[in-house]
Amino acid sequence: MRLIGYIRVSTAAQEDNTSLDEQERRLKAYCALYSHKLVKIYREVASAKNTSGRPVFNEALKALTKADGIVSTKLDRVARSTRDVLTLIEDVLQPSNKALILLDQNIDTSSPYGMMVLTMMASVAQLERDVIRERTQTGRRAKAEQGGYAYGSPSFGFMSVDGVLIQHPEEYPVLQIMKNHRRAGKGLTVIARMLNERGYRSKKGSPWTAIKVGEAVGTYERSRHKRKNG
């Protein structure tokens, strides 16, 4: 087969420690062993969070018009998860009759066995996610039944102390300013500008925007309504 090689590291530090060179060595050794033609190797330093942030990977996919498939050392070099790899295969590779080869997982989707292994990996990964989700929900329900706060990071204006949701001493007064200005009829953009001019920041320390002000006030009003009718 004629193959396109793709190797990747997430940071420049990994690039400096010869990780890319080691990946390239393995691809060349594999192709030599099985008499595959390695058309070109694409090297990239980027996160695997999404393909839009990996221009070199997209170039490698385009180069498949001159090859039979793409080869990489392992799954997480190509995508963030098994599900993402399956999506890549179903949406991009299979329609063009192209193969994906992953050395560490011993996967070659040009064979029925390779596809079976990948599908099983996806099923196991989904099962693990479902189990974790179920455990998290069970723990939250138990904590809530005991009167504790159990549902993620508190919204702006509040904080969780020993499982109890209380007013944040610095944020809550700012939330009240937003609420009062909204009731006075001021727009979200005007309120955001005013907060920034006074030096106030969001929970993450970033400047206020109309969207963030709307979310903060909206979350507060919804929670207040829920407590009132709960």
Catalytic residue positions?
A: 10
Helices (H) and strands (E) in the chain, counts: 9, 7
Q: State the amino acid at position 78 in one-letter form.
A: V
| Measured distance CA(54)–CA(47) in Å, rounded | 8
| Measured distance CA(49)–CA(68) in Å, rounded | 26
What is 121-133 written as a DSSP string? HHHHHHHHHHHHH
Report the alpha-carbon angle 168-213-177, nearest 5. 55
Query: Which 3 state secondary structure label does DSSP give 176?
Result: helix
| Measured distance CA(217)–CA(96) in Å, rounded | 50
* Burial environment of residue 214 by CB neighbours within 10 A (0 to 12, 13 to 18, 19 or more): middle
For the chain, how far is it from start to end, CA to CA, in angstroms?
65
Instruction: Please state whether 99 falls in left (phi above 0), alpha (psi between -120 and 50) or beta.
Output: beta
Chain CA centroid to CA 48, Å: 9
**Length of the chain in terms of residues written:** 230
